[in-house]
Structure 1
Amino acid sequence: MKIPFEQIVSLDQIGKGGGKRTNELFSLAQKADVKPAVQDEKKVLLLLIDMQNDFMENGELAVPNSHGDVANTLRFIYRNFEKITDIAVSLDTHHVHQIFHPSWWTDRNGNHPEPFTVITARDVEEGKWLPAFEKEISVEYVKNLERSGKKQLVIWPYHCLEGTFGCALEGQLANMVYFHSLCRGSDVRRIVKGQKPTTEMYGIFKAEYDPTGARNDALLEELRKYDQIVVAGEAKSHCVLESLWQLVEYFAEKGEPASKIYCLEDCMSPIPGFEEATEEAYRRLSRDYGVHLVNSAEWSL
């Protein structure tokens, strides 16, 4: 790579929205002199989960240490520029009125729940919390979350509203991702998720609960073609973790080895309060499915 790291990104601007103009990146790319992705003998996908402004440390749903995670991810891409064939980014994308936002629920006095309130099936049955929209669907949703053993319904701060700064890919990461695309001739795969108002969608392949059982099998099949899938993102405890479970379960169905999946542990952090359960879940992914848990400096093709 002929272009210095500092000409592509500025670590002190992480989370501040200071991205380069795409045409400036294109000019730099003309001088990079790297081989095109189509020449890769082994196909490697870097899958970046929800590394968006609202999950940065100054965002609406801030994940502690997210700036450090982005910095490590930037260095990882730069170090492995000609080993990474494609980059895919998922984008959590919401509307104001969704089942996990405060406006969806009220108590008997018309007050909305505070962020991080947990709403249980019992709360709904006893009338502690009442849905302001889609009453029958909302009640059934909360009940079925618990029946299926999923996380309970958490009311999150408003975040990643479609069209806002918070919904956008973090600026310095966007610089590096699109610079890679320009240099290597590979398209950035954008995965938009979370727009259905009556369900949560932590994982990128399917909702937490959907009576139709809908799943993005086309995307899952796309991922099967890669020799390695490297994963980073936010938050480790929720969207990254659920995406991984969905992916390894699909691979198990198809007889595909989950050992091709590598999690960059220093490029993801949990939401506070979920640390212990998160670490146990990743130990299970490693022990039961063969998923590799590595530091970004240790990964090799």
Structure 2
Amino acid sequence: MTNQPQLPIPSHFDRRQVGEVWRVNYQDLAAAAKTWAKDHEIKPAAEDKTRICLVAIDVQNTFCIPQFELFVGDRSGTGAVDDNVRLCEFIYRNLGFISSIVPTLDTHTAMQIFHPIFWVNHAGEHPTPAATMITLADVETGVWQVNPAVAYSLAGSLNEDNYSLLQKYALHYVQKLSQDGKFPLTIWPYHSMLGGIGNALVSAVEEAVFFHNIARQSQTMFEIKGNNPLTENYSVLRPEVLQGPDGQAIAQKNTRLIQKILDFDVIIIAGQAKSHCVAWTIDDLLTEITAIDPNLAKKVYLLEDCTSPVVVPGVIDFTDQADAAFQRFAQAGMNLVKSTQPMENWPGIVL
């Protein structure tokens, strides 16, 4: 397989439907994948000499379908849809090279620190999502305070002690973000809600991932992140804040996934959004790599045409920050590549 050219795109894939939601017909798709593997002499992933992992970050309806809550449109207005057309085609063309796919799933409930209900002002109003960033000064001066009712749901009872502890933690949280050079606390619309349709993979991507699973006989390695109510979790490898104000652990970095990813010979990264979950995941991966062996950065390939930054027209544009982050990753030894380039032409890769 490794000496063969890129594969054709299967006839079931329709790029015009990538921005839509539909039910994947698993049984028919499984039969088609088995036939496809036989016709194109695609071997099981267990036989791969070069083990290649594709990490697809948060390729979910919430971020990738125009009608959903946090569609990543970038400056073009169609960013995530265009990215996913290319991502699906990349998976199909390189089906015989990709050993494993790790789709991450941003997964939330309503009462989390970055959702409106968590905060109130003196009038009892919640912050406007996507237009509010809560700063350290906002919390110190009481512009925004923890909603007292949240303490009941998060701590199991509503009393003064629980509320004061939560308010103390909130102050610590925004302080920690500032100290660590993280983005300010952004209040997002309710999104990627557990049990909701926004949480699901984009149908076209799910279809491609399932097709790969059957054709390569390689279990898709889904990774859930973001369900801790007390911290944002842009990176799949670690939450934004790991400790409370008294040093107690409130979250942990994902050591298991870090080790699993680094065990591959080649790591390919794509997904949404370039400025947030993708950038912070890569940054955390680079931190781990630097601590082990900086040369390992050379085995990381970033699909720069399969990811887009957060842009809210007239409100915020993270394009420049995202591009600067990717340049920093490249300077550290990671490879910026296009999904349309044949993998055998990527720098330094051995297939």
Separation (CA, whole Å) in 2 of partners of 1:35 and 1:222: 22
Q: Supply the distance in 2 between the matched residues of 1:149 and 1:239 (Cα, whole angstroms).
A: 15
Q: Find the aligned partners of 1:164 and 1:217 in 2 and give their Cα distance.
A: 28
Shift of 1:159: 0.4
Distance, in Å, in 1 between the alignment partners of 2:186 and 2:272 is 17
Query: What is the percentage of aligned positions where both structures have the same residue?
Result: 35
Output the TM-score relative to the length of structure 1: 0.96
Secondary structure of 2:224 counterpart: strand
1:26 equivalent to 2:30? Answer: yes
The amino acid across from 1:171 in the alignment is S
Q: 2: CA distance between counterparts of 1:11 and 1:162?
A: 28
Matched, 1:236 2:274: yes
Match of 2:141 among 126, 141, 160: 126
| Aligned partner (choices 37, 44, 59) of residue 45 of structure 2 | 37
Equivalent position to 2:324, from 263, 280, 297? 280
Q: Whole-Å Cα distance in 2 between the matches of residues 4 and 83 of structure 1?
A: 14
1:5: Cα distance to partner?
A: 3.0
Per-residue displacement from partner, 1:10-54 (whole Å, max 9, x unpaired)?
222223212421111111122111211111110000100000001
Counterpart amino acid of 1:131?
V
Shift of 1:6: 4.8
Please identify, of 251-260 and 90-99, the stretch whose mean Cα deviation from structure 2 is larger: 251-260
Taking the TM superposition and a 5 Å limit, the aligned residue runs for 1:1-301 are 5-32=9-36, 33=38, 34-56=42-64, 57-64=66-73, 65-116=79-130, 117-132=132-147, 133=150, 134-211=166-243, 212=249, 214-255=252-293, 257-272=296-311, 273-287=317-331, 289-298=332-341, 299-300=343-344, 301=349
What secondary structure is seen at the aligned counterpart in 1 of 2:69? coil
Could you list the runs of 5+ residues in structure 2 that have no partner in the other structure? 2-6, 74-78, 151-165, 244-248, 312-316
Distance (Å, rounded) in 2 between the aligned partners of 1:235 and 1:224: 22
Cα distance in 1 for residues equivalent to 2:72 and 2:13: 21
Letter in 1 for 2:254: N
RMSD: 1.6
Contact 1:19–1:174 (CA under 8 A) maintained in structure 2: no
In the alignment, residue 201 of structure 1 is paired with which amino acid? N
Q: Is the 8 A contact 1:19 1:172 kept in 2?
A: no
2:9 touches 2:93 (CA, 8 Å); kept in 1?
A: no
Q: Secondary structure at the match of 1:259?
A: helix
The superposition leaves residues 110-169 of structure 1 with CA deviations (integer Å, 9 ceiling, x where unpaired) of 111111211001000001001113322212111111112111100011100001110000
Q: Which of the two has higher C-alpha Rg?
A: 2
By how many angstroms is 1:4 displaced? 6.4
Q: TM-score, normalised by structure 2?
A: 0.83
Distance change >3 Å, CA 278–CA 4, structure 1 → 2: closer
The 1-side partners of 2:167 and 2:49 are apart by 53
Contact conserved, 1:8 with 1:175, CA < 8 A, in 2?
A: no
Aligned residues: 300
Distance apart, 1:201 and its partner CA: 0.2
1:165-189 CA-to-partner distances (Å, cap 9, x unmatched) read: 1000000100010110001110000
C-alpha contact 2:133 2:184 (8 A) present in aligned 1: yes
**Which has the larger displacement, 234-243 or 125-134?**
125-134
Question: CA separation in 2, counterparts of 1:37 and 1:228?
Answer: 14
Q: What letter corresponds to residue 179 of structure 1 in structure 2? A: F
Structure 1 letter corresponding to 2:55: L
| SS of equivalent to 1:262 | strand
**Residues 184/267 of structure 1: CA separation in 2 closer, same or farther (3 Å cut):** same
